[in-house]
């Protein structure tokens, strides 16, 4: 299973003690997010909505490109959760 790094926004990191980065083993972008969230289940409601989809104003990037949740990962890949550019 590829070893990748998941990065979350600072506002979410502060809910779990401040650590923005986690190394996880996962085959897909969704798998990486779910593994990271399984360690800190309070994050789930902030990333996914009631239907299990990524929240409309949350963006997920895979190696600096907008991610498909089913995209396959390779060793060393980066999965980054970002606050979408919206709101005030």
Partner 1 sequence: MSVALAIGTLKGAWVARSDDGRTWSVDGPYLKGWQVNTFGVAPDGTYLLSTGSTWYGAALHRSSDLANWSQVVAGPAYEEDSGRKLEQIWTLAMAGRSLFAGVAQAGLFRSEDAGETWAPVEGFNDHPTRPGWQAGLGGLVAHRILVDAADPERMWVGASAVGVFATEDGGESWELRNDGVTRAAPDDDYPDIGFCVHGLVHDPDEADSIWRQDHTGVYRSRDGARTWQRIETGLPAGFGFPVGRDPQTGRLFVVPLESDEFRLPVNGEFAVYASDDAGDRWFRAGDWSRPGFDGVLRDAMAIDGNGGVYVGSTAGRVALSADTGETWLELDVTFPRIVSLHAFVI
Number of neighbours of residue 68 by Cβ within 10 angstroms: 12
Q: In angstroms, what is the minimal distance from the CB of 37 to partner 1?
A: 11
d(CA 75, CA 56): 28
Site residues, partner 1 (CB under 8 A) = 11-12, 14-15, 41-42, 45-47, 49-52, 55, 57-58, 83-84, 86-87
Q: In angstroms, what is the minimal distance from the CB of 82 to partner 1?
A: 9
Q: In angstroms, what is the minimal distance from the CB of 61 to partner 1?
A: 15
d(CA 13, CA 21): 9
């Amino acid at each position: 299973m590829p070893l990748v790094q998941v990065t979350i926004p600072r506002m979410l990191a502060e809910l779990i003690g401040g650590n923005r980065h986690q190394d996880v083993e996962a085959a897909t972008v969704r798998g990486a997010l779910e593994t990271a969230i399984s360690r800190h289940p309070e994050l789930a409601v902030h990333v996914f909505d009631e239907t299990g989809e990524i929240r409309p104003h949350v963006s997920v990037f895979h190696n600096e490109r907008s991610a498909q949740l089913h995209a396959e990962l390779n060793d060393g890949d980066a999965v980054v959760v970002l606050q979408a550019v919206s709101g005030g």
